[in-house]
Amino acid sequence: MRPPEEQLVELTRGVVELHQLEELRERLATGKPLLVKAGFDPTRPDLHLGHTVLMQKMRQFQDLGHRVVFLIGDFTAMVGDPTGQNEMRPRLSRAEVLEAAKSYEDQAFKVLDRARSEVRFNSEWLGTLSLEKLIELSARRTVARTLERRDFRERLDDQKDIYLHELLYPLLQGYDSVALECDVELGGSDQLFNLMVGRDLMRSYGQRPQIVMTTPILEGLDARLEDGRIVGKKMSKSANNYVGLTEPPLEMYRKCMQVGDDVIWRYYELLSARSSAEIQTLKRAGDPIAAKAAFAAEMVERFHGADAKTKAAQDFKREYLGDGVPEEVPEVEVPTAGSELLLAKGLSVAGLVPSTSEAKRLITQGGVEVDGQRVTDEQHKLSRGGRYLVRVGSKKRRFCLIRVPT
């Protein structure tokens, strides 16, 4: 193994929270491989780019010689973690969870080293937990401490229901750490509360408490830049704003092209293998469409190969840009008083259609595309700070770059 300080430089890069640095340094100094786990609840059958931010950190541990457990939360998925939500998440059936879990292992190894990974299912211990043991587990945590979770607290303030099984979720996830006796647990920054419960539970069971590390959350395809910061829901399957790892190359390419012009740099920061210098060169070029195309190509090549990357780029141009984009495309700035601009209004102001009502008609008929994607919702909106390639018409195509200033 590399010296502890060298490992720390790599392992702490990009980390949001670390509890505790000195404990991690001490364990690395022993020279023994650490047991590192990260859990994934299979709520839908595919992992997405947001998951890979965390998985890349897992891979770093592997490359440094540590043991990694890819934990599939097949039991906890049936309970449903309400993190990031202020209402109960719909419960899944056992059949739904198992169907989603089937493909998780193969997808994980698109990032992780299969030979150095251990796959576990938390139903191994949670599915056999007796009522007596569950009561004993529950007695190790107070209701007051559990209600410190932001989403629970907000629901209480809003007088919304909180169900008893939801209060059990942090305990069940925490018990995973007890069952595995892990050294480190990794998770997204929105999972900090649950990860710290695991640390507390391990101590109460007489175990050495785990080190907790969190990674940044990747915003979804619908994120936007507002007042100098990126806002929007995290990439998730439930919000349907994600790019799945097993999606066909063309679909993955197309979705990457949907990322906002300002948001794409966040994607580069968290996911791209390009150097900082290369990313800055792309940024200085001032062509967000070319930057998104380069990012899309990188992701497709990573998960599908070089041949698929070339074909996806060609297919995208043919299927979504039709005859191709003219070399000279007019650009129009369309200000908006709100945080978003109604696409129909933007088309009218840009002179692509005679009126907003005509724009709505064309949109519902499938005659409008934004960044290569057909839009059929007449209430579709463009976020401030974005620059959008719009095409109107099916036979006689008209192109325009609509820029919505911040």
Tell me the Cα Rg of the chain. Answer: 24
- Strand segments (E) across 48-164: 67-72, 117-121
Same-domain status, 39 and 182? yes
Cα separation, 401 vs 370, in Å, equals 10
Which of 215, 246, 280 is the last residue in one of the domains?
A: 215
Number of domains in the chain: 3
**Per-residue pLDDT at 107 exceeds 70:** yes
Regarding pTM above 0.85, the answer is no
Same-domain status, 153 and 280? no
**Per-residue pLDDT at 83 exceeds 80:** no
**Per-residue pLDDT at 48 exceeds 80:** yes
Query: How confident is the model at residue 31, as a pLDDT?
Result: 94
The pLDDT tens digits for 170-194 are: 999 999 999 999 999 999 998 999 9
Cα separation, 302 vs 294, in Å, equals 12
Q: Which amino acid is at 327?
A: E
Among residues 183, 179, 181, 176, which one has the least CA distance to residue 23? 183
Would you say how long the chain is, in residues? 406
The pLDDT tens digits for 194-214 are: 999 999 999 999 999 999 999
Read off the pLDDT of each residue in 80-95 and give the average, rounded to a whole number: 64
**Per-residue pLDDT at 106 exceeds 80:** no
Same-domain status, 61 and 109? yes
Residue 48 DSSP code: B
pLDDT band at residue 82 using 50, 70 and 90 as cut-offs: low
Structural domain that includes position 199: 4-215
Query: How confident is the model at residue 385, as a pLDDT?
Result: 84
Asked whether residue 326 is domain-assigned, the answer is no
Which of 284, 299, 320 is the last residue in one of the domains?
A: 320
Strand 67-72 with 35-40, pairing: parallel
Report CA-CA distances (Å) from 151 to 147, 166, 175, 306, 370: 9, 11, 21, 43, 35
Query: How confident is the model at residue 86, as a pLDDT?
Result: 46
Query: How confident is the model at residue 141, as a pLDDT?
Result: 93
Q: Which amino acid is at 29?
A: A
**Per-residue pLDDT at 245 exceeds 50:** yes
**Per-residue pLDDT at 321 exceeds 80:** no
Same-domain status, 57 and 171? yes
pLDDT band at residue 316 using 50, 70 and 90 as cut-offs: confident
Provide the H-helix boundaries in 205-263. 249-256
Read off the pLDDT of each residue in 157-163 and give the average, rounded to a whole number: 89
* Mean per-residue pLDDT of the chain: 88
Asked whether residue 241 is domain-assigned, the answer is yes
Task: Determine contact, residues 377/363, Cβ cutoff 8 Å.
Answer: yes
Q: Which residue has the tokens 């495309």?
A: 329
